[in-house]
């Protein structure tokens, strides 16, 4: 057995490379000027990488702000000791205003009702509630319509309990910066900001770029970029990969818990979706399954790395375990055999081979973002 650090209670884990995370964070700092800010998006437990440790690494590497998706994510960051500003990327129910103020989490705001409830509570506590105004420039997910931002500011601005700390939008097609759709969203945002200024409103920190926007459309950085996926070394699209190389942060590893040599024709796993095709095939079990984020739809399709070689996963992936086959295809190769305790790599590099989250996401018809979040659900994270 290798001397990797790993969890004492389970032979499956996510390895998080903090050096890669630090270098990726610095790479994003390098995209912006000294007076511009880097907002590190750490929603969904830092895209499955574990927010507590990741936020510390990002902070040390130059993060200026954190963004989260839920109030509880913001509270978890504060409870982990984070002092940087925290931005909630959407508007929670008005019943959340006390939690926001108590933990100093800035909401995004786009309804007068919420703005009012937040401002009232802040004023009652003798405080000022900072917020970021979200503008809908065409994604049609959240935000004040781009033609109505001045009216919106007018309708909330008189409230002494409110302070606009920033104004932002989010792009639907940032990975295609030359496209008409993106150009139109940019134009609407630029005009909305100009309109606010003309009407005498300070928009605060102006920001719009996510990872692909930050990498591909530097003209739109304004005062801050909001980077998520790229910090974790995952590329949002091939174009961004060509401009800003990044290092994957997450690897998924497991050790063989059981091995056997079923006779030719025997089935493997629930439903016998795989039958052993010949003699001397070794079936090895890994203690990782779909409840750990390994999609069941990858059953009989994905591969794992063993001693630098690709071997096939076989049979239906179970909730907590899956099986792989060794010496499955040819008796001509020198036979290799695994033993319980041997290390296999589900995502990451082994020798010259590498399995990426993109490879698995492609087979599932989804994106690396979703796979990373999934692997974060139950596996223990080991920070190296």
Catalytic residue IDs: 43, 270
Which of 226, 253, 255, 381 is the binder for ligand PLP (CB under 6 A)?
226
Per-residue string for binding with ligand PLP, 105-144, x by CB under 6 A? Answer: ----------------------------------------
HEC sequence for 316-332: CCCCCCEEEEECCCCCC
Which of 31, 32, 41, 288 is the binder for ligand PLP (CB under 6 A)?
41
- Please tell me whether residue 14 adopts helix, strand or coil conformation: strand
How far apart, in Å, are the Cα atoms of 205 and each of 35, 43, 52, 139, 166? 11, 20, 25, 20, 4
Contacts of 155 (CB under 8 A, 6+ apart): 112
Does residue 170 belong to the site contacting ligand PLP (CB under 6 A)?
A: yes
Which of 211, 299, 316, 345 is the binder for ligand PLP (CB under 6 A)?
211
DSSP state for residue 231 in the 8-state scheme: G
# chain residues binding ligand PLP, by CB under 6 A? 12
Contacts of 268 (CB under 8 A, 6+ apart): 262, 274, 275, 276, 283, 314, 315, 323, 325
Does residue 236 belong to the site contacting ligand PLP (CB under 6 A)?
A: yes
Q: How far apart are the first and last CA of the chain?
A: 18
- Which among 225-233, 240-248, 265-273, 338-346 is the span making contact with ligand PLP, rule CB under 6 A? 225-233
Which of 229, 346, 361, 379 is the binder for ligand PLP (CB under 6 A)?
229
Query: Based on CB atoms, which residue is closest to ligand PLP, 25 or 299?
Result: 25
- Which among 1-9, 145-153, 156-164, 228-236 is the span making contact with ligand PLP, rule CB under 6 A? 228-236
Q: Residue 48 — left, alpha, or beta (φ > 0 → left; ψ -120 to 50 → alpha)?
A: left
- Which among 79-87, 223-231, 257-265, 285-293 is the span making contact with ligand PLP, rule CB under 6 A? 223-231
Which of 51, 89, 196, 326 is the binder for ligand PLP (CB under 6 A)?
89
DSSP state for residue 218 in the 8-state scheme: G
C-beta of 341: minimal distance to ligand PLP in Å?
37
Query: Based on CB atoms, which residue is closest to ligand PLP, 120 or 176?
Result: 176
**β-bridge partners, 209:** 225
- Which among 15-23, 229-237, 309-317, 349-357 is the span making contact with ligand PLP, rule CB under 6 A? 229-237
Query: What gap in Å lies between CA 152 and CA 186, rounded to an integer?
Result: 20
Angle between helices 180-198 and 149-157 (to 10 degrees): 40
Query: Based on CB atoms, which residue is closest to ligand PLP, 48 or 228?
Result: 228
143: exposed, middle or buried (C-beta count within 10 Å: 0-12, 13-18, 19+)? buried
Query: Based on CB atoms, which residue is closest to ligand PLP, 11 or 168?
Result: 168
Query: What gap in Å lies between CA 298 and CA 290, rounded to an integer?
Result: 10
Angle between helices 51-60 and 18-29 (to 10 degrees): 50
C-beta of 135: minimal distance to ligand PLP in Å?
11
Query: Based on CB atoms, which residue is closest to ligand PLP, 64 or 350?
Result: 64
Residue number of the CB closest to ligand PLP reads: 228
- Report whether 221 contacts 214 (CB < 8 A): yes
C-beta of 227: minimal distance to ligand PLP in Å?
5
Which of 24, 136, 210, 327 is the binder for ligand PLP (CB under 6 A)?
210
Q: Residue 140 — left, alpha, or beta (φ > 0 → left; ψ -120 to 50 → alpha)?
A: left
Query: Based on CB atoms, which residue is closest to ligand PLP, 215 or 283?
Result: 215
- Which among 54-62, 75-83, 227-235, 340-348 is the span making contact with ligand PLP, rule CB under 6 A? 227-235
Which of 107, 119, 177, 228 is the binder for ligand PLP (CB under 6 A)?
228
DSSP state for residue 263 in the 8-state scheme: P
Q: What is the full DSSP assignment across 41-87?
A: E-HHHHHTT-HHHHHHHHHHTT--EEEESSHHHHHHHHHTT--S-EE
C-beta of 240: minimal distance to ligand PLP in Å?
9
Kindly list the residues in this chain that would bind ligand PLP in the complex (CB under 6 A). 41, 43, 89, 170, 210-211, 226-230, 236
């Amino acid at each position: 057995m290798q001397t990797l650090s790993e969890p004492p209670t389970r032979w499956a884990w996510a390895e998080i490379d903090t050096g890669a995370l630090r270098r990726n964070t610095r790479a994003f700092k390098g995209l912006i000027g000294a007076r511009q800010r880097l907002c590190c998006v750490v929603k969904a437990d830092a895209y499955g990488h574990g927010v507590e440790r990741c936020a510390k690494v990002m902070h040390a590497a130059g993060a200026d702000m954190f963004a989260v998706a839920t109030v509880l994510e913001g509270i978890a960051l504060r409870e982990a000791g984070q002092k940087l500003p925290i931005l909630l990327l959407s508007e929670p129910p008005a019943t959340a205003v006390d939690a926001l103020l108590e933990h100093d989490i800035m909401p995004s705001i786009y309804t007068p009702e919420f703005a009012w409830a937040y401002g009232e509570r802040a004023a009652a506590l003798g405080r000022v509630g900072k917020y970021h105004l979200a503008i809908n420039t065409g994604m049609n997910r959240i935000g004040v319509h781009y033609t109505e931002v001045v009216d919106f500011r007018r309708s909330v601005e008189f409230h002494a309990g409110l302070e606009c700390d920033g104004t932002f939008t989010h792009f639907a097609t940032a990975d295609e910066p030359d496209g008409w759709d993106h150009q139109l969203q940019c134009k609407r945002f630029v005009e909305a900001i100009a309109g606010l200024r003309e009407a005498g409103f300070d928009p605060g920190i102006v920001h719009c770029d996510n990872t692909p926007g930050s990498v591909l459309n530097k003209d739109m950085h304004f005062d801050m970029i909001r980077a998520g996926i790229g910090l974790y070394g995952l590329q949002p699209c091939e174009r961004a990969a060509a401009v800003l190389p990044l290092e994957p942060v997450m690897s998924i590893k497991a050790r063989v818990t059981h091995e056997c040599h079923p006779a030719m024709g025997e089935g493997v796993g629930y439903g016998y979706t795989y039958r052993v095709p010949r003699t001397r095939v070794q079936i090895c079990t890994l203690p990782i399954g779909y409840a750990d984020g390994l999609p069941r739809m990858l059953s009989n399709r994905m591969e794992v790395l063993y001693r630098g070689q690709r071997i096939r996963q076989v049979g239906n992936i179970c909730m907590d375990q899956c099986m792989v086959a060794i010496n499955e295809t040819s008796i001509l190769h020198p036979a290799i055999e695994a033993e319980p305790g041997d290390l296999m790599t589900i995502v990451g590099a082994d020798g010259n081979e590498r399995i990426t989250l993109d490879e698995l996401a492609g087979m599932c018809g989804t994106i690396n973002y979703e796979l990373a979040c999934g692997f974060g659900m139950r596996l223990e994270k080991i920070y190296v």
